[in-house]
Chain A
Amino acid sequence: MFRFILGRLLQGLLVLFALYTITFFLAKAMPGEPFTTEKNVSETTKQYLRKLYGLDKPLPAQYIIYPSKIITDRDFGVSTSKGRPVRDIIAQSFPVSLILGLGAMSFAIGIGIPIGIISAVRKNSWVDWSLMAVAMVGICVPAFTIGPLLQILIAANVPGLKVAGWGNPLDFLLPAFTLGLVSAAYLARLTRGGVLEILSQDFIRTAHAKGLSPTRVILKHGLRGGLLPSVAYLGPAFAAMISGSFIVETIFQVPGMGQHFVNAAISRDEFLLMGVALFFGFLIIMMNLISDILTGILDPRVRIGKAAQ
C-alpha cells in the first residue's frame, strides 16, 4: 500500500512538471505581455516592471527559476495584475471554493446516489424513467440557467437566503446546489448503471437463494460493487468542484478560486495562471489517488500488495 501511494505520488510529480511545462510555454506564446495596456506606460517603467518580476531574463532561465523557487521558498511568484503573491491569492480564495465544493459534493452524493439506486431497483418502471429523465435534464441544463432560476424562485422568496454574496453561513446553499446539480445527475446515471450491472450478477441470485430480504440483498450485496463507477467519477469531479467555478461564482458573487482561472488568462497574468493551474493539477492528482484507494477498499480484487491466485 505504502509503495503504491509513493509510486503514485512520484508519478504525480512528473505529471505536475509536464503540466507546468505546457502552461509555461502556452503563457509565453500568448501575444503581448503582462504590462501591455492601453494606458501610456513608458518603456522605462516597463523595463523596471519586467526586472521586478524577473521577466527580463532569458526564457530557459525563467523556465527553471519558477519551479526552483516553489521548491526552495514555496514562492509561487507575484501576480502581475493584482500585485500580490500568488500564494496569498490561493490561500484566500481556496477555502471559499472548498466550502462551496464540499457543499456541492454533499448535494451531488445525497441526491445522485439514492436516485440511482431507486432507479436501478425499479428498473424500467415509470419511477425509473421519470428519475432518469430528470437526471438527463440536470446534465443538459447549464449552471447559468439553473443559477438565475434559483435566485428568482427561491432566494427571492425564502427569508434568510440571499440572491448573491458571501459572508453568512447559509450563503453557500444556492451556489453549492447549482454547482452540485450536474454531478448529481451524472452520479444518478452512473449509480443506476453500476447497481444494475451488479444486480444482474450470479451472486445476487445466490444471495436471494440464501433467503435474504430484497433490501438486504441490495444494501449488502449490490451496493458495494455498484458504487465503483461513481467512486471513479467522484475523484476528478470533486477536484473540479472544490477548485471553483467561474460561472457559479460570478452568478452568486462568491469570492472563490474559479474567477482566477479566467481573469489570469485574460490579463495575461502568467504567474497567477501557472499557480492556479499547478494547484488544480495537484488537487486532481490527490483526488484521483484517494478515489483509487477507495476503489481498492470497496473491491478486494484490485487491492495492491496481495497476489491474486
Chain B
Amino acid sequence: MSFLEVKNLKTYFHTRAGTTRAVDDISFSLDKGEIVGVVGESGSGKSVTCHSILGLLPQPPAKIEGGNVSFDGGEILGLDPPLLRAIRGKRISMIFQDPMSCLNPYLRILDQVAEPILVHEDVTREEAESRAMEMLKKVGIRDAEGRANSYPHEFSGGMRQRAMIAMALVTKPDILFADEPTTALDVTVQARILGLLRDMRDELGVAVLFISHDLGVVADVADRVVVMYNGKIVEQTDVLSLFENPSHPYVKGLLACRPTFETKYHTLPTVEDFLETETSSDGSLILRERPDSQERLAALEREVEPSACSDITLLQVDALKVHFQSGGGFLGKPLEVVKAVDGVNLQIQKGQTLGLVGESGCGKTTMGRAILRLVHATGGDVTYDGSSLTSLSGMELLPFRKRMQIIFQDPYASLNPRMTIEQALIEPMIVHGLGADLEDRRSRVVDLLEEVGLSSAHLRRYPHEFSGGQRQRLCVARALAVEPEFIVCDECVSAMDVSVQAQVLNLLRELQDRRGLTYLFISHDLSVVKFVSDEVAVMQAGRIVELNSSEALYQNPREEYTKELLHAVPRGDLETLRQRLH
C-alpha cells in the first residue's frame, strides 16, 4: 500500500447546463519522497483531483461520486471536516499557481507563514514565528529577517512563490500538492523554484504531486508522470519511459506539438495528428489513435524550408526610448523615472519574423506598443516603410493603423464582450473604409473566419461562446480584417495549452506564407520564439542585449544573460532527461 493511494476517484460537477465529469474514475499513488508529475491541458481535471482529495471543492456544484483515497493507511475521502482540517496544511500542504492572488494581500508574510503552525500546533506565537523565519531562510528569501514583515505586494513573483512554499512546508508535511507552481514565473525564476522543490524533497523527504501543463517542466522534476485527458488518466509511467516510448496517442501528440530548440518542422504537429475522438452513445469520449498519423507526420516533415529572405527593411527602430514618470505630484513622492525602453535599435525585414524575448518587466510589451504608437515614445524614432511615425498626428497616423496591427495575450479581454464576432470584425473595416457596403464586408468577414479555421456559423456569436484557442483565432481575424502588412504578436500564445498553441502558431505561419506578413513576435517562451522567428532579440532592463539570427543565437549565445536564459529553459528532451536521471 502506497503512502497516498487514490482509487477510482470520481468528481462530477452538476450544473443547470448538465453534468461535467471533471475527474472520471482515476487511480494513482504517491510514495514517500517521490515526485509525481500530473500533466494535462486546462480542464483535464488535474486541479480538481487535488482539491477533491483535500475537500477543497465547493459542494455543490461539485460532488464526489465515488472512490477511495487512503492516506497513511486511513481513508480521507469524506472524512469529518474537523478531522480533514487537521490533515490539511499539517500533513498534506498545497501551493498554487499564482503566488500573488494566493497570498493574502492584507497580511504580513511572516504572519501568513506562521499561521499553519499556530493552527495545528500548541505553540507560542514567538516560537511559531521563529520557525517560520527559519523556513523563509531555508527557501532562499534573501534578508529574511528584514523582509518577513513585508506584505506580499512588496515581494517579487519569485519571492512570493518562495514564501508560498515556505508556508506549505513550515509544518513539515508528508505530502505537498504543487498546482502549477511555476507557470506564472519567468524561466530563470522557474529554474530556481524547481531546484528548491527538489532540494526540499531530498532534505525533508516530502512527497510531491506536481501538477503542470508543461511536459518540459515535469521532465525536470518528476520521477513518475500521470497524464490526464478529459478527466481520465490516459497514461502513467516513469518519466523516462514516457519520453522514450509514449504509448497513448494523446501523449505522443502532446510530446510532438511542443516546439523545442530542436524542432525542425515548418508546421508543428498537433494532437489531432495523433488522436481521434468520438463521443459514444452514453456521452463518454472514446479516444483512438489515428491510423494515418505516420503519414501526417511525414507530410509535415517534408515541409522544412527556410523562410524566403528579403532585403527590404519594413520597420526600423532607432534609439527608441519610453520613460514613465511616477510621483512628483504636489507634495507627493519625489519624481521617479522608470526607463521601460531605453535606447533600442532594431530593424525587421519584410516578410520575416523578429522574435523579442525577455523576462517580465524587461520592457518588451512597452516596446511593441511604442512601435505602434499605442504608448508615447519619450525619444528616438520609428520608421515604417520609409515614413517616420513618431511625429505623425492622429489623422496622419490612420493609414498606418491599417497597415500595422497587434494581437494581445488575453484574447478574452481584448474582444468586446458585448459585440458579436461579426460586429467586432466589421468595425475596423468601417473605420478604414474597407469594403463597398455591408454585404461586401460581411462576405469578407466570412472569408476571414474561414481563413483562421472558423466558419460563418460563428458570425452571430459573442466572445464568451468560444474556447480560448478559438478566441485567439478571432483576434487574429480581427487583426487581419484591415489587411495589415505588419503584426505585433504580444505573448499571443502564452496563455494557451500546448496543443492549442501549436494550432495558433501554425496559423500564424500559414498566414505569413500566404500573405507575406511581417511579425514582431514578443514572448517570454524561448522555445516558441525559436520556432517562429528568423531573427531573435533578447531584451533586458529596457535594452537589447543580443540580436542575432535565430539559429546563431540559440547555438552560440554570446552574452551571459542570453546563456542564463537558455540554460534555464526546461528542455523536456530525452538527452537532458537522461542526464538528470543519471
A residues whose Cβ falls under 8 Å from a Cβ of B = 3, 6-7, 10, 201-203, 205-213, 216, 220-221, 224-225, 298-301, 305-309
Q: Are A211 and B88 in contact (CB under 8 A)?
A: yes
Chain B 323-376 interface residues, beta-carbon cutoff 8 Å to A: 330-333, 336
Q: Which residues of B contact A225 (CB under 8 A)?
A: 105-106
Contact mask B37-68 → A, CB, 8 Å, 1/0? Answer: 00000000000000000101000000000000
Residue from the set B85, B93, B336 with the largest chain A CB neighbour count within 10 Å: B85
> Measured between C-beta atoms, what is the minimum distance from A234 to chain B in Å?
18
Given contacts A211-B87, A308-B153, contact A203 B119 (CB under 8 A): no
**Does any Cβ of A come within 8 Å of B102's Cβ?**
yes
> Measured between C-beta atoms, what is the minimum distance from B54 to chain A in Å?
6
Q: Are B154 and A206 in contact (CB under 8 A)?
A: no
Q: Which residues of B contact A224 (CB under 8 A)?
A: 106-107
Q: Which residues of B contact A299 (CB under 8 A)?
A: 105-106
Q: Are B96 and A307 in contact (CB under 8 A)?
A: no
Cβ 8 A contact of A221, one of B88, B104, B331: B104
Q: Are B98 and A205 in contact (CB under 8 A)?
A: no
Q: Are B104 and A208 in contact (CB under 8 A)?
A: no
Between-chain CB contacts (< 8 Å), 17 pairs: A6-B331, A201-B101, A206-B164, A208-B88, A209-B56, A210-B167, A211-B86, A211-B90, A212-B85, A213-B85, A220-B107, A221-B104, A224-B107, A225-B106, A300-B106, A300-B151, A309-B153
Going nearest first, the 4 A-B pairs with the smallest beta carbon separation are A211-B89, A210-B89, A211-B88, A202-B101
CA distance A207 to B333 in the complex (A): 35
CA distance A225 to B151 in the complex (A): 14
Chain B interface size band reads: 35 or more
**Does any Cβ of A come within 8 Å of B155's Cβ?**
yes
Given contacts A211-B87, A211-B90, contact A301 B119 (CB under 8 A): no
**Does any Cβ of A come within 8 Å of B94's Cβ?**
yes
Q: Are B153 and A208 in contact (CB under 8 A)?
A: no
Q: Which residues of B contact A203 (CB under 8 A)?
A: 101-105
> Measured between C-beta atoms, what is the minimum distance from B481 to chain A in Å?
36
Q: Are A210 and B119 in contact (CB under 8 A)?
A: yes
Cβ 8 A contact of A205, one of B96, B106, B156: B96
Cβ 8 A contact of B102, one of A206, A212, A307: A206
**Does any Cβ of A come within 8 Å of B120's Cβ?**
yes
B residues whose Cβ falls under 8 Å from a Cβ of A = 54, 56, 82, 85-90, 93-94, 96, 98, 101-107, 115-116, 119-120, 151, 153-156, 164, 167, 330-333, 336
CA distance A157 to B106 in the complex (A): 48
Complex: chain B residue closest to A225, CB-CB: B106
Q: Which residues of A contact B331 (CB under 8 A)?
A: 3, 6-7, 10
Q: Which residues of A contact B88 (CB under 8 A)?
A: 208-211
Q: Which residues of B contact A205 (CB under 8 A)?
A: 56, 96, 102
> Measured between C-beta atoms, what is the minimum distance from B98 to chain A in Å?
6
CA distance A211 to B79 in the complex (A): 14
Given contacts A7-B331, A202-B98, A225-B105, contact A209 B54 (CB under 8 A): yes
Q: Which residues of A contact B333 (CB under 8 A)?
A: 305, 307
Complex: chain A residue closest to B156, CB-CB: A309
CA distance A274 to B331 in the complex (A): 30
> Measured between C-beta atoms, what is the minimum distance from B181 to chain A in Å?
13
CA distance A6 to B332 in the complex (A): 10
Q: Which residues of B contact A308 (CB under 8 A)?
A: 153-154
Cβ 8 A contact of A211, one of B103, B107, B119: B119
CA distance A308 to B101 in the complex (A): 16
Given contacts A7-B330, A202-B96, A211-B120, contact A300 B153 (CB under 8 A): yes
CA distance A277 to B301 in the complex (A): 81
CA distance A301 to B106 in the complex (A): 8
Q: Which residues of A contact B332 (CB under 8 A)?
A: 3, 7
Complex: chain A residue closest to B159, CB-CB: A309
Q: Which residues of B contact A207 (CB under 8 A)?
A: 104
